Amino acid sequence: MQTVYVNGDYLPKDEAKISVFDRAFLFADAVYEVTSVIGGKLVDFAGHMARLHRSLGELDIEPPVSDDEMLDIHRRLVAENAIEEGMIYLQVTRGTADRDFLFPEKDVRPNLVLFAQAKSLIDNPFVERGQKIVSMEDLRWRRCDIKTTQLLYASWAKSLAHADGADDAWLVRDGFITEGTSNNAYIVKEDGTIVTRQLSEDVLSGITRSAVLECARQLQMKVEERPFTVEEAKAAAEAFSTSASSFVNPVVEIDGSTIGNGAPGPVARRLREIYLEKSRAAAI
Ligand code: PMP
């Protein structure tokens, strides 16, 4: 039976409940993090905590527990749910209050929910066959740097991509790709230079993005942080995406155009290997 954490209690899945007046349910007034688990250990926990604090700070929500307590909760969920490989999902909501657009007074306490999901992450069919991407207008709100649970457009875009026979969507704002529905987007030029959009309010600052760019720089690969277009992606030597649960995930097609020779490229493969090697070694 799955064990879920709710505000201090470890409960069987069916008993884990939050009020219908929770502001996440009514307004998507909540932030979240997803930390991957490899070999029963947490990957880049500190990075996820740093981003959580930033998201909470931007929205003026108090952290409900300390980082040490958060680590204990993560570890207990890994143990109780016997997670060898998978994810820990964490959500902090502004709390439960009468429905009102105005943020409630400070005496309303945030709600904290975490659960574990077992999932095969390292063995992923995309590593061999690559993802097919379609581009779509980026219709999300303008603060994509805050990791809120306002995921309807991202979820819709991914579903539309699937209906179109693709695996995911890359979102386009003012003619340039911002990111994927739940991942950062990259292309590799013919000369081996990795291109990914610079950080701003248009994209989420991926924890995997920062680790992978560091791997790339250590491997003396050239990195350009700048916007790129769908046309540039079509003409690229290779492409890939990154996220905590997919690591480095090759892309072989965009809008029906084959990228490179249509197979996952060597840069994505190498970065995935190095990222996994480092993550395993540093996991806690
Ligand atoms: N962009 C978006 C929109 C995302 O939802 C995610 C994953 N949550 C990412 C990028 C990748 O971030 P991370 O590497 O921290 O998982």
User: Tens of pLDDT along 175-201?
Assistant: 999 999 999 999 999 999 999 999 999
Spell out the residues 6+ positions from residue 1 whose beta carbon is closer than 8 angstroms to its own.
12, 13
* Arithmetic mean of pLDDT over the chain: 98
Q: Is 180 exposed, middle or buried (0-12, 13-18, 19+ CB in 10 A)?
A: buried
What does the alpha-carbon distance between residue 11 and residue 194 come to, in Å, rounded to a whole number?
Answer: 45
Closest Cα to atom 9 of ligand 1: 183
Ligand 1 mean position, distance from CA 235 (Å): 25
What does the alpha-carbon distance between residue 43 and residue 37 come to, in Å, rounded to a whole number?
Answer: 6
pLDDT at 250: 98
Closest Cα to atom 7 of ligand 1: 182
Task: For each of the domains in the chain, give its residue range(s) and CATH number, in order of start.
Answer: 3-118 (3.30.470.10), 125-282 (3.20.10.10)
- Mean pLDDT across 120-135: 97
- Whether the model clears a pTM of 0.95, i.e. scores above it, the answer is yes
Spell out the residues 6+ positions from residue 15 whose beta carbon is closer than 8 angstroms to its own.
none
Does the annotation mark 119 as catalytic? no
Confidence at 245, pLDDT banded by 50, 70, 90: very high
Ligand 1 mean position, distance from CA 203 (Å): 9
pLDDT at 105: 86
Closest Cα to atom 5 of ligand 1: 182
Catalytic residue, candidates 17, 106, 119, 147 = 147
